[in-house]
Structure 1
């Protein structure tokens, strides 16, 4: 009798290591890129990072890094980590998280030093980089959180762009009329709920294709806000557009914390929307993965029929989640007109709702992951502007492309498995 005959099928399956060579291959290609670009084509100057600014609790001296030497170190580290990843995949079928994280951080920092070292000024202010990035990151985080709430319950939310735009328009209009920014903020949440109500009604109750409904809502909101902008917001009284002069939400710096270099101005010198963003990221993550409410939502999004058999009202749960996601996105839209700029303009969201969907996928439908992905997009967008002023020889469009290229890699499985909830986009009909 053969030895394998005594092994149960389940144990035999456990002994088979499923190896995916995508990540080691990716690390190898990036390591080769680091050798060629950081070492062979590396700039000879220094990359200077300004850490502190006036008003910080303590002053940290500028960090000057020799670009060529640093590039050599990073290239060697990337080659060693790529070899380690190959060895681990060959021996055990999996790569340790510390290898992936270390490689990613080293490569990104090396790329940044290489870019800064090649500019005319050869310096960058980290505070300006991250505080400017928050202007893009904040609405992206709200949009991606809206997507998390909807898609975790099984509804694809393509209408994030429309929800953001409706929130921005309503916040500006109501704040201009009432001269109260908080009234505009509340109205923005209501506007987001109204858009999401249409999404929920058509996709859940009337079982219309969710993708089509989302696209139609985006076009509807764009046309409606554009029409109302021309007919209402452009009305002038005594030479002023009184319906497009919203009150602004003030910054609320937290004592001591706001004076920490880099982190303070970025996270602790925000408006109420900025602080609400941090609370929602932590709160939604805790709710989804640590509470009964979150368990029910994930059950509805993964296996609605099983959830129904244990007494969970699938469609009601989905409906409420879509409405909650609309409120979150509406608040994110208010950031445009109550914080970032002082008036509304047609289609001012500029497609950030679709970028929020990319952040949602990149973050693997996890609130924290989506927020970090949104930060990556925000930093890349602001870095493009800063480096264009600093005189970098690299085309700014190339820098703007990088986050999207990473998203494609994430979706294709090169940086780990990315899987949407099993019932995402599938209507549930009881019976």
Structure 2
């Protein structure tokens, strides 16, 4: 690990614990995430503290993923931390994709405002199940892209689009004759209409999760990301690391939840002794330590593979399953240790439980990743038999 990354992570941790955490009860934290006003205020404080977009250095280079892991874990110590320091989803994944594949002109127009924390973004891929559209199976995509001279015209509907309300940059995936294709668009645009923002179990991401109608959206050809038909390839450039960075952020949140539950168990007395001295409680906290360390090691292993340029869907699927399931166990135990207090808003433990429960679904439910891994098992077996 680079010393610089260790220093950056320490500064981010101090900022999140000392400056961001007191905002967790701010009334601007709503059911659909923190308001844009609160986001701007927090990012202003992060900018002043020198910790805004800390995973992208002043020269534009991106930290190695093993270094990103410690920085994002520190940011995740508060549900507001990733938003405040500009490493939250979907912006962090979108910045990574544009940094890897956008043209110089596209970076100047779309990426630079995101890196500066001046613009939020949205990734328009998932579609409503009622329309028979793409969810975990992107090959079911219904949204169409048709050439019209030097423009493309996009029509369709999207669902669970995180941060669409209030975003300034959009990445839209649609199906052209050549296959799935990605486009960059300025937001808001009258051709992209938010039908509703869904009421979901999680509440940490600005703008919430929207259902969106796209009606005759005209996009200049130079706003295509990559080439026609490269959409699925580009999606993997974004999604494999993004699954891992989700793990990093929520590991930080669960570390904090476990700190709160541990403090409660050591202070609270029942039946003549502290709760932690009761085997049923103490063992849950011990199991949390085991799951936290296993999640940390899985993230570090997967980040090392990514840094070596060998991260595939199998590795990211394994990390997503192992870490999301471990963090769910940790969050659940924290609630249980704290009893009635654990299901109130008096601490962030209740919110962390909700957020991690949602994490088991987004960026691919556990079962989809297991199914993908099972297919790999069969392929590897057949290859071994044939060789």
Both structures adopt the same fold (TM-score exceeding 0.5): no
* Larger gyration radius, structure 1 or structure 2: 1
Higher strand fraction (1 or 2): 2
Instruction: State the TM-score, normalized to the length of structure 2.
Output: 0.27
Larger RCO (CA within 8 A; separation ≥ 6): 1
Instruction: State the TM-score, normalized to the length of structure 1.
Output: 0.25
Higher helix fraction (1 or 2): 1
